[in-house]
Amino acid sequence: MNLIKTGKLIGLGLALSGTPYLATMAESQPEDIQQLLVQGHYWVGQGHPDLAIDAWEKVLLTDPLNKEAQNALRELKSFHPSLIDRKKLALARKLARQHKYTDALQMYKMAFSGATPNSFYAAEYYETLSGTRGGWKKAVEALKQLTLKYPSNRHYRLVYGRVLTYHDATRLDGLKILEGLATNESVKPETRKKATAAWRNALLWLS
């Protein structure tokens, strides 16, 4: 099947059915709160949990019941990033890139003192799990819960969509998520680029 034609057919089908591009809870957040939530995740990724805490605490000053900020602060307190064995984490990522998924999963847990990585590193852990025999379903469910817990984090949504495209039964659902990210101008360019690449790869499987 022609790649461009396939993409058009999917887009047309979504438009005719009235199916939204899986709008997230994040879109209903006031802009200033949404920005602070995103900043918090950014600072964790950059290795500055102190700045992440500051951003999420500012969210709670405006919205004391904000679940995402509450969850994030609770996780940072339960397992601070300074406790992660960075050498083992780097080795886990290397093993995953080499498709040595079982070994990679073991190394991830060693990096986190024997525990499953917390939410801030869970996306890469569960994407690795999805590559193991019998691990895909568990990975999909865990990633789904992660996106619900942290709806402002588009990277988690990217990984969730990408993993959905790995199986025929959920490939269209994954394509919807990836297309939504790739065409959303509020999403970081790097994430949009990755979503576009994953979307195109999934279309090739359809053809």
Same domain for 164 and 79: no
Confidence of residue 188 (pLDDT cuts 50, 70, 90): very high
Q: Which domain holds residue 181?
A: 118-207
Same domain for 65 and 127: no
Mean pLDDT of the residues in the chain: 88
Place of tokens 């990033």: 81
Same domain for 125 and 66: no
Residue 111 lies in a domain: no
Residue 53 lies in a domain: yes
d(CA 36, CA 166): 33
Residue 130 lies in a domain: yes
Six-digit token pair at 151? 């709806």
C-beta atoms surrounding 93 within 10 Å? 17
110-135 mean pLDDT: 95
Same domain for 142 and 187: yes
- 187: pLDDT strictly greater than 70: yes
Same domain for 79 and 127: no
Residue 21 lies in a domain: no
Same domain for 127 and 79: no
pLDDT tens digits, 135-178: 999 999 999 999 999 999 999 999 999 999 999 999 999 999 99
Cα–Cα distances (Å) from 56 to 71, 106, 160, 168, in that order, read 10, 31, 24, 38
Residue 78 is predicted with a pLDDT of 86
pLDDT tens digits, 58-113: 999 999 999 999 999 999 988 888 899 999 999 999 999 999 999 999 999 999 99
- 10: pLDDT strictly greater than 80: no
Domain boundary among 37, 66, 83: 83
Residue 3 lies in a domain: no
Q: Which residue has the higher pLDDT, 75 or 5?
A: 75
Residue 135 lies in a domain: yes
For the whole model, what pTM was predicted?
Answer: 0.84
Q: Which residue has the higher pLDDT, 101 or 45?
A: 101
Looking at residue 207, which CATH number applies to its domain?
1.25.40
d(CA 68, CA 148): 9
Same domain for 205 and 125: yes
Residue 164 lies in a domain: yes
d(CA 140, CA 129): 9
Q: What total number of domains does the chain contain?
A: 2
